[in-house]
Amino acid sequence: MAEEKNNPQSADDKAKKNIFAMTFEKQKRGKVELKKRNMQKGAIFLIAALVLLIPYSIFFLYPQTSSYLSFGQVIGNYDKQIKDIEVTKKDLEKTRDLHKSAYDKENKAETEIINKVFPVTTEKLEVIRLMEDFATHLNTTYPPFEFTSISFDEPRKESGYTVLPFRTSIHASQTNFDRFLGLINLSGDYKPESKDHVRMMSISNISLTYRGLDKEGVDQGVDFDVELLAYSR
């Protein structure tokens, strides 16, 4: 104690050292307190961020996340739908081709019938050939049936079709002439299942002359003068 009293410099140094020590200690404690407060603030901000993030995640991120997670399944569903559509398309194309083939076949057959019963042209040679076919068909039944003459007038245009007037003289029995009238009556008859289609014709006038009996009493038949109309497009 005697030395300290006798040495004032040492006392000042101690005081200074104590002051510095206290200041450093205060600074150290201040830093600790500041760090603690900063950590508290950080924790508060973190909690607040989490609190705000939860509704944001629910309302915004969750749908996006769900969509992203289900994206693979959605693509898979689309791929399946595309494959199903391709299969359906092939089936439809196959069905279409089958229907088209059937339609083309039926249309071809019907077109052939129409061209036969209602031809495009008014060819006179076709009419003569048709009359000869009638005579050949009817001449198989006795008594004979024959066309003795045939003549044509000029064709005339009607509304949507053409008419070819012609006259023919026929020698036949009453029975065979009735058969001839039956064939004319069938002309233009459209039946796809039938194989015999006759060009559309009609009779406009008939006049007849009985030949009577010969010396042996055999019926000589009847002469028919027939006026007909042949139709075409």
On whether the CB atoms of residues 211 and 221 are closer than 8 A, the answer is: yes
Q: Which of 159, 155, 160 is nearest to 126 (CA)?
A: 155
Distance in Å from the first CA to the final CA of the chain? 153
Q: How far apart are CA 212 and CA 210, in angstroms?
A: 5
Quick one: pLDDT at residue 2?
47
Quick one: pLDDT at residue 221?
79
DSSP 139: T
Quick one: pLDDT at residue 19?
61
Q: Which of 169, 124, 171 is nearest to 149 (CA)?
A: 169
* C-alpha 146, offset from chain centre: 56
For every one of its 233 residues, what pLDDT tens digit does the chain have, with 9 covering 90 and above? 444 445 555 555 555 555 655 666 666 676 777 777 777 777 787 787 777 766 666 666 666 666 666 767 778 788 888 888 888 888 888 888 888 888 888 888 888 888 888 888 888 999 999 999 888 888 766 677 888 899 999 999 988 899 999 999 998 888 888 889 988 988 888 777 777 788 899 999 999 888 766 667 666 778 999 999 999 98
Please name the residue that has the structure tokens 């199903």.
84
Amino acid occupying residue 42: G
Q: How far apart are CA 124 and CA 222, in angstroms?
A: 26
Strands, E assignment, 119-191? 146-152, 156-157, 162-172
The encoded tokens of residue 217 equal 């009493």
Quick one: pLDDT at residue 22?
61
If DSSP codes are grouped into helix, strand and coil, which group holds residue 71? helix
If DSSP codes are grouped into helix, strand and coil, which group holds residue 123? coil
The encoded tokens of residue 40 equal 């508290």
Please name the residue that has the structure tokens 């003549």.
151
Quick one: pLDDT at residue 231?
94
